[in-house]
Chain A
Amino acid sequence: MKIGVLVKQVPDTETKIRIAADATDIVRDGIKYVVNPYDEFAVEQALKVKEQVGGDSSVTVVALGPPRVAEALRTALAMGADRALHLKDEAFEGGDTMTTARALAAALRLEAFDLVFAGKMAIDDNASAVPGAVAVLLDLPNVNLIHAFTLAADQRSANVRRRVDGGEEVVSCTLPALFTCEKGLNEPRYASLTGIMKAKKKPIEEKTAADLGLAADTVGKAGAGAQLVRLLPLPERGACKFIDGDAQQQARTLVQLLRNEAKII
């Protein structure tokens, strides 16, 4: 079984986000980059399926981004992925979710994967949009937000569970298909020392827009329908109004304030 995983490199969740002077980016100095946490679930699930199916199954991790993104691919290789594709081209910069999806889809199309896993959301752009677009471009069915995955015995479909507004769904989906992963799906493994050593010898193939047959005006900033104008600080909240008295007085005063001042209840 050929399994593909979309892996994005993002600033660590602990990063202090500060707006840069020109307000078109965050301050990038000293940022530690990691594999997007939801993509770790995706890598782990791919490895689990590979281990379950065995044979000549393989896991290919795919990332689009600047040179530093190779580190994220190396991390996924160290976890156990077999090979990596790095979509690396200055022309990709400044793109939006749609240009990113188009480039990723062009790369995946060359491989004819049986299964593709992605994260539910990138924790930097918070779009939750790329995988759904990739699925349409590849004409794959797509089930989002899965927190349980079971491959059918004949390996031609999968049963998944996901939480949606109002409840939980059990979905069966024919393969090939694309799934996005939610927390709870699995516990991503740590790379072992031997994993890290082995990863150094595994291939990372680089692809440019031209390699993927993508015209320059369809990728990156040139092709993006959504262009970042500027970053804005969050609106400030006024000072907290502390409420005095014993518990009963506090409760009474608060309810009054919520009714008469905030007019919220």
Chain B
Amino acid sequence: MPKKIVVVGEQRDGVLRKTSLEVLGAGRKLAAGGGVLEAALVGEGADAAAGELAAHGVAVQQVNGAAGAEAVSAALAWLVSEQGYEIVLLADTSMAKDVAPALATRLNAALMTDVVQMDLGADGSLRVVHPIFTGKVNAEFAVQGRSIQVLTLRPHTVAPAAPDGTTGAITKHSWTASVPPRAVVQEFVQSAAGRVELAEADIVVSGGRSLKSEENFALIEGLATALGGAVGASRAAVDAGYQPHSRQVGQTGKVVNPSLYIACGISGAIQHLVGMRTSKVIVAVNKDPSAPIFQNADYGIVGDLFEVVPMLTEEIKKLLGKE
């Protein structure tokens, strides 16, 4: 049973986020076999992002006039009803965490958040996998019994869609909120420029307690910068004040899912592992060959990180600098 599917795009400073293209990639798979796939963008200043989505061969519904999560979810609910979409896909970003539950509630839809795998059966049955118990086990769900299903997809689980040589039409709608916003952003303090966001990063280099100081984290920063990645940290490093909590990976920090995760001087406690073990490739640098991190790594270097990490940075620079 082919479905009518919409991918909700997200933009920041006018630029389409990469996670939106991942969701588009997931949407294409669901739409294969006769389904309809479109994209939606809600909010001001989204012209460029709409153009980019359209350039990937999908029709784009662009809704102007909604600002703030409450209005965005209301505008999206209107659009989904208006267009008769049956499956709504979003990337599991902080925007989606604000919008998806509200959207599903307004539509009386079924909701699954933080999905890492989705399959649409020929009979129209939707099966998804969502990690539970902080990533200690996966759970498969049948999402059914509602005419609309809302899913949010964990970043990095699906390759971003590439342009397919066709261009979709962009349809503009305007939407007026029926009530003034009740929650208003007064101030936005942007993360330091040039910093790659941990949850979005394709490569994460993390350091642990063994770094011994905030200054020494420059080693980790150096490797991360050479790779164009983000910096992460264990809780022990965060508790010691070497790194802010926003960089903590693990059960009480962030869950990351990059292509490459490099753990430097991190023992690999279960609470850390649950935050990074779905990474595609894991490298561990640790001086203790029996450290549990090695049981969860693809490549292991037994050695002193203070020697190995600078060498690695040099080698990476040599390799990537040549290109």
Interface residues in chain A, defined as those with a beta carbon under 8 Å from any beta carbon in chain B = 11, 13, 15, 17, 19, 26, 37, 96-98, 101, 123-133, 135-137, 141-145, 159, 163-174, 177, 183-184, 224-234, 237-238, 240-243, 247-248, 250-252, 254-255, 257-259, 262, 264-265
Residues of A within 8 A of B69 (CB): 142
Q: Are B137 and A232 in contact (CB under 8 A)?
A: yes
Which of B102, B132, B189 has a CB less than 8 Å from the CB of A136? B102
- In the A-B complex, the 7 residue pairs with the closest CB atoms: A225-B110, A132-B101, A251-B311, A141-B182, A170-B187, A164-B94, A247-B307
Q: Is B236 an interface residue, CB under 8 A from the partner?
A: no
Residues of A within 8 A of B187 (CB): 169-170
Interface mask (B283-301 → A, CB under 8 Å = 1, otherwise 0):
1100001000011111111
Residues of A within 8 A of B130 (CB): 126
- Tell me, rounded to whole Å, the shortest Cβ–Cβ distance linking A178 to chain B: 10
Q: Which residue of A lies closest to B94 (CB)?
A: A164
Q: Are B298 and A251 in contact (CB under 8 A)?
A: no
Q: Which one of B1-9, B26-34, B38-46, B245-253 is at the A interface?
A: B245-253
How far is it, in angstroms, between the C-alpha of A68 and the C-alpha of B251 when the chains are bound? 25
Question: Given A163-B246, A251-B315, does the pair A17, B133 have CB atoms closer than 8 Å?
Answer: yes
Residues of A within 8 A of B70 (CB): 141-142
Number of interface residues of B (CB under 8 A): 91
- Tell me, rounded to whole Å, the shortest Cβ–Cβ distance linking B127 to chain A: 7
Which of A168, A231, A254 has a CB less than 8 Å from the CB of B139? A231
Name 16 extra pairs, CB < 8 A, besides A165-B93, A250-B301.
A13-B134, A97-B113, A98-B105, A126-B131, A129-B100, A136-B101, A145-B94, A165-B199, A170-B185, A226-B142, A230-B140, A234-B136, A234-B137, A240-B284, A240-B297, A255-B319
Q: Are A226 and B199 in contact (CB under 8 A)?
A: no
Q: List 18 interface pairs A-B (beta carbons < 8 Å), by A numbering.
A: A19-B137, A126-B130, A126-B134, A129-B100, A136-B105, A137-B105, A166-B12, A173-B184, A177-B183, A227-B145, A229-B140, A237-B282, A238-B298, A242-B294, A247-B311, A251-B315, A252-B315, A262-B299
